[in-house]
Amino acid sequence: MPGAIMATGSGRGGCSTCSIGWACAPPRCSTPTSSIAARGSPRRAATAATKIAAHGGTNATAQGSLAHPSETQMIADVTERLATLGVRPTGWLGPWVSESDTTPDLLAENGYRYVLDWAHDDQPTRLATSHGGLLSIPYSQEINDLPAIIARKQEATTFAAMIRDGVEQLLSECDRRPLVLGIALHPYIMGQAHRVPALARVLTELRAANDPRIWWTTAGDIAAHVEANGLAA
């Protein structure tokens, strides 16, 4: 059954991570997904292996700017670093949300099932690679606190309204296809005390509505659900 997909993020404090969730009926709840960089990642990540998406070794360099040998080595190193923590990720979000022409091929070659770099659609889509299929799970470049608040100088009340309006619109369309609404949060931005209340209000409001068309879950579970039910566009 198609539905609207929603995202929620991590709480205040902690390291800089992007937390993603979403919704797609049936109505089930799950904890958010965290995207983490391998270098300096906390060992507690091992307790949430199924909730982790890799996010490169450093966010100081855009992945798409790397030469092919460097990108190949970086993906392999990050994957193995996380594996030593008991986490072998199946999802990837590139540093700077950036890719080279061969990134999808390299990810599929390293065993990744889905990627979060693409913002071309509100529904999961399948990418063809030289090593088989790879799912694109939508990751928002609009409902994302970094560009919204840091680049566009918006504030928490506007960000909360964007979430509310996005949910309303996608729910009006979700009877035709499964849709995704990712909410990208960084604790050092949205976790600031003066921003927390607006975010908490809108998320509490949406959860309290208990809309059966919304599934609060993780990017990894979405990828598994899409694959199992042939829902990718």
**What are 176-187's pLDDT values in tens digits?**
888 999 899 999
Domain contains 233: no
pLDDT at 232 over 50: yes
Quote the pLDDT of residue 217: 81
- Overall residue count recorded for the chain in this entry: 233
CA atoms within 13 A on the CB side of 137: 33
**What are 149-195's pLDDT values in tens digits?**
999 999 999 999 999 999 999 999 988 888 999 899 999 999 999 99
**Number of separate domains in the chain:** 1
Quote the pLDDT of residue 6: 44
Phi-psi region of 47 (alpha: psi -120 to 50; beta: other; left: phi over 0): alpha
CA atoms within 13 A on the CB side of 210: 1
Quote the pLDDT of residue 218: 83
Quote the pLDDT of residue 9: 36
Instruction: Name the residue with tokens 């307790």.
Output: 47
Q: Residue 179: name the closest of 106, 121, 104 by CA.
A: 121
pLDDT at 100 over 80: yes
pLDDT at 64 over 90: yes
Domain contains 166: yes
Average pLDDT, the chain: 81
Domain contains 167: yes
Domain contains 96: yes
- How many C-beta atoms surround the C-beta of residue 96 within 10 A? 15
* CATH number where 99 lies: 3.20.20.370
Residue range 54-69: average pLDDT?
92
Quote the pLDDT of residue 51: 72
CA distances from 90 to 93, 103, 169 (A): 11, 14, 30
Domain contains 112: yes
Instruction: Name the residue with tokens 């499964």.
Output: 178
38 in Cβ contact with 54 (< 8 Å): yes
Domain contains 85: yes
The boundaries of the domain holding residue 207 are 4-228
Q: Whole-model pTM?
A: 0.78
Domain contains 92: yes
Domain contains 108: yes
